[in-house]
Structure 1
């Protein structure tokens, strides 16, 4: 009688792998590893309790310089690469390297260089703070511990106000600057102007009230009637914005500025410049940069901010096109010659600059930002024909030439329709006054007796 060997399925091939059981033998179990013995540290470790402020002003190159510090070597390589990209001169590169030796000779892994430590040490030696901080920041070694300009400005402006008013005004200003869930951010200058206009009012209310809820409609009317002209309009606009924001966020129960109206101040009739003022502005344009600035304002009606923020790509010499404030215009011969002269001067003066702006200075040639406002407006600052007056005169001249058509002005200069209508109205008034003056002179000449009549 034959015997049958019974077995359970898949026992000869376990799922966990390894050699087969049965004829091939069983798996050899791995010995359980013994735990490593506990090692007692032979050296003590000092934990960091707090970070003390370092004073790099006491640095002595002969005593403290460590040119072999690996972080210093890496920073010098980063500074060299950044200088080549920005077109730094050898003097700037040398000053940055000196600054890096001061702050990184004793640098250790895990530390950070704070602005409050960097600034006094480099400023007393006349070394560049911003460029050194940029190099350190590229390596992740820099910490900017300065309070933001907005925080310092708000702290100064809101000083002396009770918490109830302080919190509401601060939330309003930050919403103006940063925007909110249903509000777009406003210009920084708008926030400055609003708060600057009503700060005296808020301080006066702070002496009587603890919260904006206590402000009444009579208080708003008294504030409105205390000033006249354009200031009255600006004050009500700022207060209306403040109380609307406070009501929207539940900080007050009712808005006391509702249904308080102020008539908008209409500006006077725009006047054209006389030729003598224009000639005086042209006479001051003796350098390539000033000639280009005056041409952009007088021919293309460019604002000073548009001029200093223009990029090299905004000038298309091949197609004779120029982009001013995002609006493409034909490039006339006068502006084209001014651009070519400036580009030749720029190429010879700063051949290695990487700044993409059209107009650059000695300072911005080694940076990437635009020129300053004071540098742009310096040529015509004390003249009657300033850059702003030249811009206005150009748009008014276009309106006078083409029959005061607002649509034509909007298409040519890319301006807002309300602005175009204002220039059109001013042009019509000037044309009407010139026609009346011409008619009056004609009547005066007709009323005078001739020589034959008197004989």
Structure 2
């Protein structure tokens, strides 16, 4: 092979995909082709490789093969434009073919065979013999049988680039050496035989990494950083939508699915909503849609009387929300032209009085405090109880928002004094945080074993799960603190807005609730007063 080690194993050329013992990442012909032409996107195979007149070397060889099969001596544009498949070959096959016994040599000392007479039919006929066609499906790659001793190629350029990016990412995010080692093993499995710029798909890497017990999320972070990852798993929203709409008739299902996707994605004149909004909307009206599917084949058959019959049994906020969701659905159908008339027109939902805000009992608060068994949950309880922090504010609280030296705390953009209790629980949590994750680079105050390797906040479920089923949840503790402020300092909405930074309407609501409680207490204290 001229300078190639006899002990070197065979591989595939990174550019023409030829199989053989190669001197490097590509064969000698592609190495010469690379020095003569610039990289670009091939017009036929769409790969980004060195191209000549818009086509890579592999496509030129395939077009030459098709031209000779059709009786032509050179490649013309119709053969290049008509490429729909590739015939793979061994390295040096095109050069060594003419050295076989019985073949005439080509080159300066040889002579070319006489050109075959042109075909009398169409000047550029496609190949009529046997050709290697594309597979009608994408079989994907199987990394589960990887053996490091036999298959690892630590000199692969793509692998070297990814391992360097992994070291940089590990240093910036404070990965432990065990996580960094797992990611390195995963990259060796996925990229040892990688050629070109092909993306590694989630459905290919997930089974292999699970089989070897390696981390999937951190490996995806590295592959995404070097632009080698393609997320082909089904979105959770689509899976949920198929499951929820499976029992509906096709006519109703199509309209409901289009409406829910418009809610999530938005439109020319509508803003995109949170996916949780679509989930909540469908859960409210799904029983009605299932009942209508038993009797109707399309939403255009639903009348005003059907809407009234379905909502007459509902009361209060449930009736209000159901009518609002139905109005949103039928307005979308009317806008898209799938129904003739909107049956919800002039059906006004009844006004719902806001729920009365009542103070929590001491036993309820004590039960929530006892449920906070970890330093992180104790921080959450204190922030909600003392500083009226919402669960979202607790999740997004960063280390920069806490000034222990000056005893100041920033919550939701407002600076508050740091009391002794809050100072104590935060110090307790910071000690545990430093002990468990000493090298983490996550800037948020609350982290767990997953987010310690990332830069994002913990999930709402992780913070609130300890208080599920209790009367005093984090949101109730937050509301109770604001109500307590109104009871102690008087039902003044301006004071509540200045202290907690809440909206004026919310402040008025808490002030009214406090005034009602104070008036009731005064009446009970003086029952004989007019």
Question: What is the number of equivalent residue pairs in this alignment?
Answer: 406
CA deviations over 1:265-292 (Å, ceiling 9, x no partner): 3354322123343344445556432332
Q: Which residue in the other structure is 2:293 paired with?
A: 206
Q: Which residue in the other structure is 2:343 paired with?
A: 256
Query: Which of 143, 157, 160 is the matching residue for 2:230?
Result: 143
> 5 Å matches for 1:21-420?
41-42=94-95, 49=135, 51-285=138-372, 287-317=374-404, 320-381=407-468, 383-420=470-507
> Structure 1-normalised TM-score?
0.81
Distance 1:361 1:314, change over 3 A: same
Question: C-alpha distance in 2, partners of 1:38/1:231?
Answer: 76
Contact preservation (8 Å) 2:252, 2:299: yes
Distance 1:247 1:309, change over 3 A: same
Contact preservation (8 Å) 2:142, 2:204: yes
Distance 1:206 1:277, change over 3 A: closer
Question: C-alpha distance in 1, partners of 2:427/2:282?
Answer: 44
CA deviations over 1:1-46 (Å, ceiling 9, x no partner): xxxxxxxxxxxxxxxxxxxxxxxxxxxxxxxxxxxx9699547997
Question: C-alpha distance in 2, partners of 1:273/1:252?
Answer: 49
Q: Which moved more, 1:40-49 or 1:52-61?
A: 40-49
Query: Which of 414, 425, 445 is the matching residue for 2:512?
Result: 425
Question: C-alpha distance in 2, partners of 1:124/1:419?
Answer: 53
- Secondary structure of the residue aligned to 2:144 is helix
Shift of 1:95: 1.0
CA RMSD of aligned residues (A): 2.8
Question: C-alpha distance in 2, partners of 1:206/1:371?
Answer: 41
- Secondary structure of the residue aligned to 2:344 is coil
Question: C-alpha distance in 1, partners of 2:332/2:168?
Answer: 49
CA deviations over 1:401-422 (Å, ceiling 9, x no partner): 2222223223322223332222
Contact preservation (8 Å) 2:237, 2:275: no
Shift of 1:148: 1.6
Q: Which runs of 5+ in 2 are unaligned?
A: 1-72, 76-92, 98-130
Question: C-alpha distance in 1, partners of 2:320/2:289?
Answer: 17
Contact preservation (8 Å) 2:251, 2:299: yes
Contact preservation (8 Å) 2:248, 2:293: yes
Q: Which residue in the other structure is 2:25 paired with?
A: none
Shift of 1:163: 4.2
CA deviations over 1:87-118 (Å, ceiling 9, x no partner): 11111111111111222222222433211111
Distance 1:392 1:203, change over 3 A: same
Question: C-alpha distance in 2, partners of 1:199/1:153?
Answer: 13
Distance 1:347 1:140, change over 3 A: same
Distance 1:331 1:200, change over 3 A: same
Runs of at least 4 residues of structure 1 off by over 6 A?
A: 37-40, 43-47
Distance 1:178 1:320, change over 3 A: farther
Q: Which moved more, 1:228-237 or 1:95-104?
A: 228-237
Q: Which runs of 5+ in 1 are unaligned?
A: 1-36, 444-455
